[in-house]
Amino acid sequence: MDKRNQKQQPDPSNGSKRKREGCLDCSDYFMAVAVLTSKMSEDPNTQVGACIVNQDNKVVSTGHNQMPKGGEDKLSWARTGDKLDTKYLYVCHAELNAIMNKNSADVKGCTIYVTLFPCNECAKLIIQGGIKKVVYLSDKYKDDVLTISSKKMLDLAEIPYEQFYPKGAPEIVININPN
Ligand SMILES: O=c1ccn([C@H]2C[C@H](O)[C@@H](COP(=O)(O)O)O2)c(=O)[nH]1
Ligand SMILES: [Zn+2]
């Protein structure tokens, strides 16, 4: 094609092979997906989100803490009172939901990004499911036996866990207004 009379289009890349400024880093994106997923939680006190990523850096699943099917409107989110009437015996943790929701055959070799350090029951699922790394945001229950035992099991299984620190800006604004 003769390009002599073609109008020059502005080239935003400016010929550069470098990443676009402000381009989201992979791990920031995965933790942002976990945080966004946590916004689906109906728990009034702690909303947890998880995002499972495979070795090709593809998201294979997400999950948030929610009541099991059938119990959504019937089970209470109370933290205190008669144990049978609190959320603790019923709520399905974000990690469990993410593992159950996976769109892959398994989660072997995957990394889980989670907004709260996984409890001991979730650690068991992570270990037995073959997840190879945990990246977490908050460790607010670090002194709780559930977290201490979780770390003990992850250590024994040689699954590294690391706290997340953003590589780019710590705040990501998402505008879903169509106008
Ligand atoms: O590994 C975990 C641990 C906890 N969760 C969920 C379960 C509950 O809905 C909240 C914790 O409630 P608190 O009021 O902060 O005690 O977090 C989870 O999804 N995964
Ligand atoms: Zn858990």
Cα gap 138→114, rounded to integer Å: 9
Q: For 114-136, b where at least 16 C-beta lie within 10 A, e where not — what string?
A: bbbbbbbebbbbbbebebbbbbb
Task: Compute how many other C-beta atoms are within 10 angstroms of the C-beta atom of residue 25.
Answer: 14
| pTM of structure | 0.92
Q: How confident is the model at residue 9 (pLDDT cuts 50, 70, 90)?
A: low
Is the confidence metric ipTM above 0.90 for this complex? yes
Is 137 near ligand 1, meaning CB less than 6 Å away?
no
Instruction: Report CA(155)–ligand 1 centroid distance (Å).
Output: 21
What integer pLDDT is reported at residue 19 of this predicted model? 84
What integer pLDDT is reported at residue 1 of this predicted model? 46
Instruction: Report CA(166)–ligand 2 centroid distance (Å).
Output: 24
What ranges in the chain are assigned the alpha helix state H? 26-38, 94-100, 120-129, 145-156
52-93: pLDDT as tens digits? 999 999 999 999 999 999 999 999 999 999 999 999 999 999
What integer pLDDT is reported at residue 7 of this predicted model? 61
**CA-closest candidate to residue 121, choices 100, 101, 95:** 95
Share of the chain above pLDDT 90, in %: 87
Closest ligand 1 atom to Cα of 79: 14
Q: Which residues surround ligand 2, an ion (CB under 5 A)?
A: 93, 119, 121-122
What integer pLDDT is reported at residue 110 of this predicted model? 98
Per the prediction, the chain carries an average pLDDT of: 94
Determine contact, residues 162/134, Cβ cutoff 8 Å. yes
